[in-house]
Amino acid sequence: MNSAQNAIPTKTIGFIVNPVAGMGGAVGLKGTDGKAILTQAIALGAKPIASQRAETFLTQLSPAKEHLKLIVGAGNMGQSQAEKCGFTCRVVGEGKTETTAEDTQSIAKCIVVAGVDLLVFCGGDGTTRDILKAVDLKVPVLGVPTGVKMHSAVFAVSPQAAARVVATFLWDKLPLREAEVMDIDEQQFRQGHLSAELYGYVLSPYEPHLIQGNKMESPTTENEVENQAAIAISINEEMQPGIIYIIGPGTTTRTISDLLDQKKTLLGVDLFQDKKISAKDVNEKQILQAIAGKEARIIVTPIGGQGFIFGRGNQQISAKVIRQVGLDNIIVASTKSKLDRLQSLRVDTGDSELDQQFRMHGARVIVDYKTTKQMTVE
């Protein structure tokens, strides 16, 4: 080790994984808060994704390994992922087969007492609320996105981006801001009602290209409604007989079905064929079964304020589904006002190779009747 390397200061980060975060996404349950919903998700064939995304984050952070001390949750709440990636770490808490929100809070409190430069957690909005209860504004926190609901402004746009934020914050400095902790009522969400609530603030590193903002609701002005209708008419006119259309959540996409006199779910993924709904609120497995051997299209709209077209709130349209449909068969629809607030679109499919293909491909967005705009994808 040369003198320059010796000069790099050692930093300490806390690391917590919510091992069940995100399991409700692909199976269409829109979250995994509560034991009953988790049981249902497992029964539907849900697979854990948090550990894999945690390992992606740690692998990206590996070059700084010799200058990092990790304090991690026991077992699959951080320890197993850190050790698998070759990190030596101090372990707090008790390893359990089944973990709870209370475990997250207890581990977070122990990490704060131990003293860290930054607390990193892998989860969604429910996990963020647990971190808020335990940490408040005592230490900076950063979220690695692994959940279904990610409305809070503490999340990096991807596990890879989270590693970049950590390294920059610890050794090159980033400003801190008070970031909103948001969450929704999952029960109401499953019934098609989106009710987001502000629970408080945590300190979080700020890097606008690598940290997502909190979700912005779509305006309901007359111009916005007319723009949505013009987009919907344009898409409906282009729909071809026999092709299956996989239509994601959102008010812009719902307008497509409204003008076809079909009752689409606002917050779910529905299948259309011959301009009629063929299946409502479908999950990944149902989509793959429906499109097997058939021609299909995907229609999505960006999340306001964040720009995600895949990986936030529509995990049913998984990387496997996207690959089967093909990037050239993806239709992105957005009103002009929503797109004007975005510098680019974003994807976080969990498949780094597919995400890179999106970045190279870009996205052509329908912004009005027979009018499109080319957007870059990050």
The CA distances from residue 357 to 247, 308, 311, 319, 326, in Å, are 21, 15, 15, 12, 11
Distance CA 23, CA 146 (A): 9
**What does the pLDDT read at residue 195?**
59
When pLDDT is averaged across residues 154-174 and rounded to a whole number, the result is: 94
When pLDDT is averaged across residues 147-163 and rounded to a whole number, the result is: 88
**What does the pLDDT read at residue 1?**
38
**What does the pLDDT read at residue 227?**
94
**What does the pLDDT read at residue 22?**
60
Helix (H, G, I), strand (E, B) or coil at 74: coil
**What does the pLDDT read at residue 95?**
85
Per-residue pLDDT for 230 more than 70?
yes
Is this structure's pTM higher than 0.75? Answer: yes
- pLDDT category, 189, cuts 50, 70, 90? low
For all residues of the chain together, what is the average pLDDT?
A: 88
Q: Which of 94-98, 99-103, 211-215, 284-288 has the highest mean pLDDT?
A: 284-288
Structural domains of the chain, with CATH = 3-205 (3.40.50), 222-375 (3.40.50)
Q: What is the pLDDT of residues 340-367, one digit of tens each?
A: 988 899 999 989 999 999 999 999 999 9
Q: What is the pLDDT of residues 110-143, one digit of tens each?
A: 999 999 999 999 998 989 999 999 999 999 999 9
Distance CA 157, CA 345 (A): 11
When pLDDT is averaged across residues 20-27 and rounded to a whole number, the result is: 61
Burial of 203 (0-12, 13-18, 19+ CB in 10 A): buried
Burial of 324 (0-12, 13-18, 19+ CB in 10 A): middle
Per-residue pLDDT for 27 more than 50?
no
When pLDDT is averaged across residues 193-203 and rounded to a whole number, the result is: 79
Per-residue pLDDT for 178 more than 80?
yes
- pLDDT category, 3, cuts 50, 70, 90? very low
Q: Tokens 């539907």 — which residue?
A: 44
Per-residue pLDDT for 278 more than 50?
yes
Helix (H) or strand (E) holding 178, with range, is strand 176-184
Higher-pLDDT residue of 186 and 102 is 102
Q: What is the pLDDT of residues 45-60, one digit of tens each?
A: 556 588 899 999 999 9
**What does the pLDDT read at residue 221?**
78
